[in-house]
């Protein structure tokens, strides 16, 4: 492994012709790291016919690998390409999103190239020439600060850094790299993309969301939340457990495997605030959290918190709002 | 189809997590172990494949925490064989070392499909599944919500994306799959059956072959999230609280 | 002249009756045989102990019919009809005594006062009862008879009975006129009918008498032959089901079929006991169980009557091999039905013939649980219970966290001897709504100088409800864990605030060798508030009502202790309409508190109950003596909007108020 490379690479995640938002967050943070390491910030874009995407990336350069076989993402094909590139160029740090795609690529790459792997980071910095990462563990109940002196592969929780710094003001130089790997041996092929079942509403477009979590306890109680949402002129959404129970459709799910939302008001009822959920809503303008457990992590990201059984508060709040309207 | 499911124990979050004197590790004295949630789903996924299409399911775990309990429970749920890798330090192994240890143990086993959870909650490099795929140079897909047989020597997996979308990917066996969730929640196994299995079945104990792994990132410290950015807490009777909320909303122009 | 009646007057060919009777008898016996053969399908269950007690029960419930008489209209109609029938049957037998043994039953005062007057009056009563029954079937149509389905089999029977009774009076009336019976007026029923035949020629009277006599006989024989194939079969089977009733406490669930080839529990009729199958034929379809069932009344799909009828149809179809491959569990009795039961025992309490629905349901639950066939929330609970020893899925180390902040130190009974081992239980330990009451109980007991200790984190859930959802293995595991800890402790009695825990400790733990006496805290409080006990500093002058927890009252007969405590506190106790044995379940029992609510619930049991309490005049407090009720009723007053009308208080909280108000008054 060559210690020479001080470059910081950011994997550009894209789906259906659009760059995932967290890629810009990584580029923004990658800039700081690259500067501190006195290396370059390189965005790595892999796919077919997606070259225009490179224009939005704020980086010192973009490595672009184009191949018809890369049109549809598979972990195997993209990992093979990333591996060949990293093996050849030996960058200091490779950053991925802690997402469905990023997790696969980072772990395979780190193992295949015997590089250290640090996942689910919420902060990254360089201290005395070492990469220091802070990452979430144990469902957000713990943070772990770890350092790597040499090359490292990192996944970063989406939403950890601002995205603005990663958006290019002018297009970066793009270097088209010839296909560095063969896809014949990856052992998988993409069949199709399954769209989510069409939902009744698009919660990402709602300015006010009333979110219900495990604390709702019974399906029968959903109407109580709906009534409140009605009084607020908003929509009801939910964390994964509620959707898994089948109490609300998947289109209402907020979080890692659901929607990323950023409403003006996010009223979290009975939601503990596990990282998977927090990821999808923590950028909301105003978060008010109601939970019976004073230690729930949701209170760490909320603006206002209330420790109370949601059923004690709900009727009073709905009434107060309806009274105000009338 | 021969399926091997790798099971890991992780700290049970029901208990308060305590950090030991070094400040860089969990205090194992207070630790209760529980099967990693996504590993539990991986086992369910394997058992569904067995129920629906016929397969032989072997489970494997490193000997720390409640490995026996977890393995016997897996047998009670329907696994055909349980392997316990012994000679493991009491506090378990880092995930990369665990992946390497599994790799060594899998060397002597004929298996078509290796299923395990996509990530564990208790380490810096949580992805045993992906690392194992990388180490073994086998096809690897993670974050799956369903695995189905697809023709000779292949499986069709659904890999979950944000927003409820998913990619359908055909994978050639042998392969490693990192399961996020099985198509249905892990089944319940009655206590009586676990107890019976503990009486009538034995675990296949094998000495773990020590695996060398590259230096792992050094943990500087473990700490609980600080409450510096903690929410401003409101207090009062439900009516008073409702009033305060309405006031906050009014101030921000959010009140209806 | 001695009053008398000529035997077989006008019926020269009366010996022929035996020949006529024979085919009817054969049909009858065949029917009885077929019915009883069905029961043999079930597995063994010895029910021959305590014969005397069993016989007394038959006399009381099949004879005097105490349970049936709990209801006025239905009770009176059934009693008149059945007692009338008994007496008429007895009279017929007495006639035979004269015919074959020469006992002079048709002569003298006995004939006049009993055989004529009394028997005739009973005949009239039976006729009145028949009329009332027909009115009920055809006009009044109470819901519990027609829902979820009612069989009309009784109408045919009632008409037949009417024909038998009326033809009997016609025969008697004709004889009175034809023989110019000087004692005719002593048979008022027959005498009344006789008025219709006055003035008829003698020959006509005799011919009509002969025809009616045979008609009466054939109608009666037809009834006998039809009996085993009709709803009247309960006349024979109900006394059997009463005789073979369970004499075990309701709270001691039978062990069940064990793990046979088909697994534990009951997935088919074969795995139920013969008594369970007998129950199915004993059911009279009166629907009293259903009218008391909190599942049915709240809109859940379970009716105990419906369950029994569905199983009976399945049993009959099975032996007729026409069940179309329907499985008992899943098809005949759906999962929704099986899981709807609160195991409150109201159906057991109400059933006039002692049918036992709860053990049948638990047997089916045992089967489902053994297959892992449980709903998601129940599964979470069971998994949590086996992992952490408590159903709330919390850390076992936090079990005694409720003791923090108490100004009293509670003995760790694992280290220190105490008179009472307080078995706290899951809800009282962990549930936020219940913990306040637990603390209040601890303070009250401490101040009263009661010597008690708890097991701290050495306690696991008692397993009462785990057993009632059919998780027998989990129950046994919990029992073993608890006993292992308790055996290392020194104490005299076990005390608990949780009726569910109380029930299993008292009734089910002894099978595992636990021999300690078990008391409910209401009983301990009862001892304390007696004149020589704790000093009450203030009388609570308020009107309260008290809810009998199913597992304390109906299950274990503790009704008076909590009431005495309330009166001692000075509270004025107003009873709800459904009290004591007829108390109405709060909806937490039988593991229901752990399950997803059934679809289509109209009114939760707890809501119905708080409405019942709130409807009492000037009663503002509903007193509970069970930690689960606290959560259930506090929710219910919110959802019903009765928060302003009704406060839910634990018994211990009221005792504490009465003992500490003076102190806080000084402060």
Nearest CB neighbour to A108, from listed B130, B165, B166: B130
| Distance to chain A for B41, nearest Cα, Å | 14
Q: How confident is the model at residue C161 (pLDDT cuts 50, 70, 90)?
A: very high
- Give yes or no for residue A201 having a pLDDT over 80: no
CATH of the domain at C35: 1.20.950
Give the per-residue pLDDT at A285: 87
Q: Is the dihedral of CA C101, C102, C103, C107 positive or negative?
A: positive
Average pLDDT, chain A: 90
CATH of A203-325, one of 3.40.630.30, 3.90.1140.10, 3.60.21.10, 3.40.50.1220: 3.40.50.1220
The H or E element that residue C29 is part of is: helix C16-39
Nearest CB neighbour to B171, from listed A120, A187, A260: A187
Biggest CA pair distance of chain A: 71
Q: What is the CA radius of gyration of chain B?
A: 22
Low-confidence ranges of chain B (pLDDT < 50): none
CATH of A8-177, one of 3.40.50.360, 3.30.930.10, 3.40.50.620, 3.20.20.10: 3.40.50.620
Chains with ≥3 CB–CB distances under 8 Å to A: B, C
Cross-chain residue pair A116–B159, CB shorter than 8 Å:
no
Cα of B152 vs its chain's centroid, Å: 28
Q: Looking at residue C4, what DSSP letter applies?
A: B
Give the per-residue pLDDT at C660: 65
Cross-chain residue pair B127–A324, CB shorter than 8 Å:
no
More reliable by pLDDT, C14 or C489: C489
Chains with ≥3 CB–CB distances under 8 Å to B: A, C
Distance set, CA B90 to CA B35, B67, B94, B103, C410 (Å)? 16, 11, 12, 20, 36
Structural domain total, chain C: 4
Distance, CA of A166 to CA of A57 (rounded, Å)? 6
- Give yes or no for residue C132 having a pLDDT over 90: yes
Is C196 within the bounds of a domain?
Answer: yes
Distance, CA of B231 to CA of A303 (rounded, Å)? 5
Cross-chain residue pair B163–A232, CB shorter than 8 Å:
no
Q: How confident is the model at residue C78 (pLDDT cuts 50, 70, 90)?
A: very high
Which residues of chain B lie closer than 8 angstroms to C643, CB-CB? Answer: none
Residue of B242, B243, B247, B251 best to disrupt the A interface, most CBs of A under 10 A: B242
CATH of the domain at C505: 3.40.50
- Give yes or no for residue C667 having a pLDDT over 60: no
Nearest CB neighbour to A220, from listed C376, C432, C597: C597
Same-domain check for residues C20 and C132:
yes
Residue at which a domain ends, from C337, C353, C370 = C370
Q: Looking at residue C548, what DSSP letter applies?
A: P
Q: How confident is the model at residue C662 (pLDDT cuts 50, 70, 90)?
A: very low
Average pLDDT over residues C537-557: 92
- Give yes or no for residue A194 having a pLDDT over 70: yes
Is C240 within the bounds of a domain?
Answer: no
Distance set, CA C252 to CA B226, C351, C555, C660 (Å)? 52, 18, 9, 39
Cβ-Cβ pairs closer than 8 A, A with B, add up to: 278
Give the per-residue pLDDT at A3: 42
Cross-chain residue pair C370–B187, CB shorter than 8 Å:
no
In this structure, of A55-69, A231-245, B92-106, the range with the lowest mean pLDDT score is A231-245
**Residue A317's closest chain B neighbor by CA?**
B242
Q: What is the pLDDT of residues C359-410, one digit of tens each?
A: 999 999 999 999 999 988 899 899 999 999 999 989 999 999 999 988 889 9
| Distance to chain B for C383, nearest Cα, Å | 8
Give the per-residue pLDDT at A246: 78
Give the per-residue pLDDT at C477: 96
Is C377 within the bounds of a domain?
Answer: no
In chain A, CATH 3.40.50.620 covers: 8-177
pTM of the model: 0.89
C460: containing domain: 395-526
Q: What is the pLDDT of residues A133-172, one digit of tens each?
A: 999 998 878 899 999 999 999 999 988 898 999 999 999 9
Distance, CA of A255 to CA of A298 (rounded, Å)? 13
Give the per-residue pLDDT at A321: 86
Cross-chain residue pair A312–C596, CB shorter than 8 Å:
no
Cross-chain residue pair A218–C432, CB shorter than 8 Å:
no
Q: What is the pLDDT of residues C609-643, one digit of tens each?
A: 999 999 999 999 999 999 999 989 988 888 788 98
Cross-chain residue pair C473–B188, CB shorter than 8 Å:
no
Q: Are B7 and B114 in contact (CB under 8 A)?
A: no
Q: How confident is the model at residue C99 (pLDDT cuts 50, 70, 90)?
A: confident
**Residue B194's closest chain C neighbor by CA?**
C473
Give the per-residue pLDDT at A1: 35
Q: How confident is the model at residue C323 (pLDDT cuts 50, 70, 90)?
A: low
Q: How confident is the model at residue C666 (pLDDT cuts 50, 70, 90)?
A: very low
Q: What is the DSSP string of B223-256?
A: EPPPGGGPPEEE-S-HHHHHHHHHHHHHHTT---
Residues of chain C with pLDDT > 70, as a percent, come to: 96
Name the superfamily (CATH) of residues B2-207. Answer: HUPs (3.40.50.620)
Q: How confident is the model at residue A4 (pLDDT cuts 50, 70, 90)?
A: very low
Cross-chain residue pair A245–C376, CB shorter than 8 Å:
yes
Residue of C367, C372, C475, C638 best to disrupt the B interface, most CBs of B under 10 A: C372
C503, C464, C507, C460: which is closest to C485 by C-alpha?
C460
Which residues of chain C lie closer than 8 angstroms to A219, CB-CB? Answer: 596-597
Cβ-Cβ pairs closer than 8 A, A with C, add up to: 14
- For chain A, the residues whose C-beta falls within 8 A of a C-beta of chain C are 218-220, 245, 292, 309, 311-312, 315
Distance, CA of B154 to CA of C19 (rounded, Å)? 81
Cross-chain residue pair A311–C596, CB shorter than 8 Å:
no
Same-domain check for residues C298 and C447:
no
Question: Does the model's ipTM exceed the 0.85 cut?
Answer: yes
- Give yes or no for residue C661 having a pLDDT over 90: no
Q: What is the DSSP string of A200-266?
A: SS-GGG-SEEEEE-GGG-SGGGHHHHHHHHHHHT-EEEE-HHHHHTTSS-GGGBBSTTSB----SEE
Q: How confident is the model at residue C665 (pLDDT cuts 50, 70, 90)?
A: very low
**Residue B196's closest chain C neighbor by CA?**
C473
Distance, CA of C535 to CA of C442 (rounded, Å)? 17
Which B residues, 135 through 194, put their C-beta within 8 Å of a C-beta on chain A? Answer: 135, 137-143, 156, 158-172, 175, 178, 180, 185
**Residue A132's closest chain B neighbor by CA?**
B220
Question: Can you list the alpha helix ranges (DSSP code H) found in chain B?
Answer: 37-53, 67-77, 95-106, 128-136, 191-200, 238-251
**Dihedral, CA of residue C463, residue C465, residue C469 and residue C473, to nearest 10:** 0
| Distance to chain A for B144, nearest Cα, Å | 9
Q: Are C42 and C257 in contact (CB under 8 A)?
A: no
Give the per-residue pLDDT at A19: 95
Residue in this structure with the two tokens 């009084």, named with its chain if needed: A231
**Residue B228's closest chain A neighbor by CA?**
A300
| Distance to chain B for C456, nearest Cα, Å | 16
């Amino acid at each position: 492994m060559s210690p020479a490379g001080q470059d910081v690479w950011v994997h550009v995640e894209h789906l259906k012709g659009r760059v995932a938002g967290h890629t810009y967050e990584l580029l923004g943070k990658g800039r700081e790291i690259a500067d501190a390491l006195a290396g370059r910030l390189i965005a790595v874009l892999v796919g077919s016919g997606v070259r225009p995407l490179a224009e939005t990336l704020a980086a010192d350069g973009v490595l672009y690998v184009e191949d018809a076989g890369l049109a549809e993402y598979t972990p195997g094909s993209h990992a093979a390409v990333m591996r060949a590139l990293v093996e050849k160029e030996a960058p200091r740090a490779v950053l991925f999103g802690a997402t469905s795609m990023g997790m696969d690529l980072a772990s395979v790459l780190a193992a295949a190239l015997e590089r250290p792997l640090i996942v689910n980071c919420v902060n990254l910095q360089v201290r005395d020439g070492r990469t220091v990462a802070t990452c979430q563990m144990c469902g957000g109940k713990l943070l772990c600060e770890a350092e790597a002196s040499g090359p490292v592969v990192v996944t970063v929780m989406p939403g950890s850094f601002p995205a603005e710094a990663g958006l290019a003001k002018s297009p970066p130089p793009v270097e088209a790299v010839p296909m560095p790997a063969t896809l014949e041996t990856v052992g998988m092929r993409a069949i199709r993309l399954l769209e989510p079942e069409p939902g009744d509403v698009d919660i990402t477009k709602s300015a006010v969301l009333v979110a219900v979590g495990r604390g709702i306890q019974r399906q029968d109680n959903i109407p109580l939340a709906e009534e409140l949402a009605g009084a607020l002129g908003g929509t009801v959404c939910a964390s994964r457990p509620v959707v898994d129970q089948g109490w609300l459709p998947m289109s209402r799910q907020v979080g890692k495997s659901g929607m990323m939302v950023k409403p003006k008001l996010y009223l979290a009822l009975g939601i503990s605030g596990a990282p998977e959920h927090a990821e999808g809503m923590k950028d909301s303008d105003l978060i008010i959290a109601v939970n019976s457990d004073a230690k729930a992590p949701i209170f760490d990201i909320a603006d206002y918190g209330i420790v109370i059984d949601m059923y004690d508060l709900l009727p009073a709040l709905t009434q107060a709002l309806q009274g105000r309207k009338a | 189809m021969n399926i091997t499911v790798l099971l890991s124990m992780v700290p049970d979050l029901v208990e308060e997590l305590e950090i030991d004197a070094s400040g860089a590790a969990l205090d194992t004295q207070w630790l209760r172990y529980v099967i990693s949630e996504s590993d539990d789903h991986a086992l369910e996924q394997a058992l569904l494949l067995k129920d629906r299409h016929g397969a032989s399911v072997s489970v494997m775990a490193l000997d720390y925490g409640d490995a026996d309990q977890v393995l016997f429970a897996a047998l009670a749920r329907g696994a055909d064989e349980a392997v316990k890798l012994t000679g493991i330090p009491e506090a378990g192994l880092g995930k990369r070392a665990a992946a390497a240890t599994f790799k060594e143990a899998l060397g002597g086993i004929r298996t078509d499909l290796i299923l395990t959870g996509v990530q564990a909650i208790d380490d810096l490099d949580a992805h045993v599944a992906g690392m194992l795929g990388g180490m073994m140079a086998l096809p690897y897909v993670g974050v799956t919500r369903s695995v189905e047989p697809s023709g000779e020597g292949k499986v069709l997996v659904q890999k979950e994306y944000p927003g409820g979308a998913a990619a359908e990917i055909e994978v050639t066996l042998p392969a490693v799959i990192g399961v996020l969730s099985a198509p249905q929640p892990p089944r319940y196994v009655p206590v009586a059956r676990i107890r019976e299995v503990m009486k009538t079945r034995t675990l296949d104990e094998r000495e773990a072959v020590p695996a060398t792994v590259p230096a792992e990132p050094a943990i500087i410290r473990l700490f609980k999230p600080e409450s510096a950015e903690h929410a401003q807490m409101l207090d009062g009777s439900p009516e008073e609280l409702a009033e305060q909320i309405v006031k906050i909303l009014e101030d921000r122009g959010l009140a209806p | 002249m001695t009053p008398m009646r000529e035997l077989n007057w006008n019926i020269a060919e009366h010996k022929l009756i035996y020949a006529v009777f024979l085919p009817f008898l054969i049909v009858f016996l065949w029917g009885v045989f077929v019915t009883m053969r069905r029961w043999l399908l079930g597995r063994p269950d010895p029910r021959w102990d305590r014969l005397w007690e069993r016989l007394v029960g038959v006399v009381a419930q099949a004879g005097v019919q105490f349970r049936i008489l709990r209801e006025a209209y239905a009770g009176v109609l059934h009693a008149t009809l059945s007692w009338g029938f008994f007496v008429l049957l007895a009279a017929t037998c007495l006639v035979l005594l004269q015919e074959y043994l020469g006992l002079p039953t048709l002569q003298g005062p006995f004939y006049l006062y009993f055989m004529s007057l009394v028997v005739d009056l009973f005949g009239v009563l039976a006729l009145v009862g028949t009329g009332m029954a027909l009115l009920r079937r055809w006009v009044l149509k109470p819901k519990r008879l027609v829902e979820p389905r009612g069989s009309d089999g009784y109408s045919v029977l009632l008409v037949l009975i009417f024909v038998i009774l009326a033809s009997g009076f016609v025969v008697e009336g004709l004889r009175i006129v034809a023989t110019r019976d000087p004692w005719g007026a002593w048979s008022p029923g027959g005498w009344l009918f006789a008025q219709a035949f006055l003035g008829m020629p003698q020959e006509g009277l005799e011919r009509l008498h002969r025809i009616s006599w045979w008609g009466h006989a054939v109608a009666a024989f037809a009834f006998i032959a039809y009996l085993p194939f009709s709803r009247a079969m309960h006349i024979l089977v109900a006394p059997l089901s009463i005789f073979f009733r369970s004499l075990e406490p309701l709270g001691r669930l039978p062990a069940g079929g064990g793990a046979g080839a088909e697994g534990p529990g009951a997935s088919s009729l074969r795995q139920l006991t013969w008594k369970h199958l007998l129950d199915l034929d004993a059911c009279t379809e009166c629907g009293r169980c259903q009218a008391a069932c909190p599942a049915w009344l709240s809109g859940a799909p379970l009716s105990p009557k419906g369950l029994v009828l569905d199983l009976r149809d399945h049993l009959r179809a099975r032996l007729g091999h026409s069940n179309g491959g329907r499985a008992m569990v899943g098809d005949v009795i759906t999962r929704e039905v099986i899981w709807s039961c609160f195991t409150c025992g109201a159906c057991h309490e109400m059933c006039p013939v002692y049918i036992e629905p709860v053990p049948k349901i638990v047997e089916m639950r045992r089967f489902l649980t053994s297959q892992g066939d449980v709903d998601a929330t129940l599964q979470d609970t069971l998994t949590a219970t086996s992992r952490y020893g408590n159903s709330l899925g919390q850390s076992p180390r936090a079990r005694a966290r409720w003791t923090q902040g108490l100004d009293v130190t509670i003995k760790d009974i694992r280290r220190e001897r105490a008179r009472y081992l307080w078995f706290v239980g899951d809800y009282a330990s962990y549930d936020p709504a219940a913990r306040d009451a637990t603390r209040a109980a601890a303070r009250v007991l401490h101040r009263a100088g009661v010597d008690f200790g708890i097991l701290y984190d050495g306690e696991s859930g008692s397993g009462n409800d785990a057993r009632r959802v059919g998780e027998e293995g989990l129950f046994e595991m919990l029992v073993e864990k608890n006993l292992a800890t308790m055996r290392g402790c020194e104490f005299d009695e076990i005390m608990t605030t949780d009726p569910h825990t109380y029930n299993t400790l008292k009734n089910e733990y002894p099978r595992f060798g636990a021999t300690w006496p078990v008391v409910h805290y209401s009983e301990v409080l009862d001892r304390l508030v007696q004149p020589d006990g704790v000093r009450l500093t203030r009388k609570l002058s308020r009107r309260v009502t008290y809810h009998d927890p199913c597992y304390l009252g109906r299950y274990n007969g503790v009704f008076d202790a909590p009431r005495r405590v309330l009166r001692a506190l000075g509270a004025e106790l107003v009873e709800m309409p459904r009290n004591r044995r007829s108390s109405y379940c709060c909806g937490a029992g039988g593991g229901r508190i752990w399950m997803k609510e059934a679809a289509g619930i109209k009114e939760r049991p707890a809501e119905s109950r708080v409405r019942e309490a709130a409807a009492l005049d000037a009663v503002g407090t509903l007193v509970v003596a069970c930690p689960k009720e606290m959560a259930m009723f506090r929710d219910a007053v919110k959802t019903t909007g009765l928060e302003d009308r009704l406060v839910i208080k634990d018994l211990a909280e009221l005792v504490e108020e009465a003992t500490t108000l003076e102190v806080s008054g000084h402060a």
